Amino acid sequence: MELVRFDGAYAGTVAGWAASVEETRWWCSRDEVTPETVAGWVAQPDTEAYGLMAAGELVAFGELWVEEDEAEAELARLIVAPGHRGRGLGRRFVSLLTREALRRKPAVCLRVNPANTRALRCYAAVGFRAVPQERADEWNRDQPEAYVWLCHEPAA
């Protein structure tokens, strides 16, 4: 398995990975995702899109957001291809992406829909922990919903 920069030619593939409206909302807080949506995400400044390749096939997608004025990097829009779930690929992908993020910032955070318990377990297994409630409340202030915020900060 290899972490690679995302090739926009796969936008249509990734757009079809969420199996339901609910899963799409958990993934990106939208009701629908098109190939154009994915292409627009990866074209944003401060966004680095990555994929996980296994045997020549794209099996996971996610973004690394690195902003100069932020103390931490953020992982976003993480998803594993439906036929590859339940095999530990999510943990592997998040681990590799976290390592990449920690090369640039001292901490890595992400937000999760609280109903997405499978993702919460995955992130905890990789070392992400809930931020203090005051911080979560502050970060949720301008969000469309109240997320669970998790951070990974290596031991000093």
Give pLDDT tens digits for 109-155: 999 999 999 999 999 999 999 999 999 999 999 998 899 999 998 76
pLDDT of residue 155: 63
Q: What percent of the chain has pLDDT over 70?
A: 99
Domain 2-152 has CATH 3.40.1000.10: no
Return the domain boundaries, the chain: 2-152
Most confident range (mean pLDDT) of 44-48, 67-71, 95-99 is 95-99
Q: What is the mean pLDDT of residues 16-27?
A: 93
pLDDT of residue 17 exceeding 90: yes
Query: What dihedral angle (degrees, nearest 10) is formed by the CA atoms of 120, 38, 3, 155?
Result: -40
Give pLDDT tens digits for 53-63: 999 999 999 99
pLDDT of residue 68: 85
pLDDT of residue 136: 96
Neighbours of 134 (CB within 10 A): 8
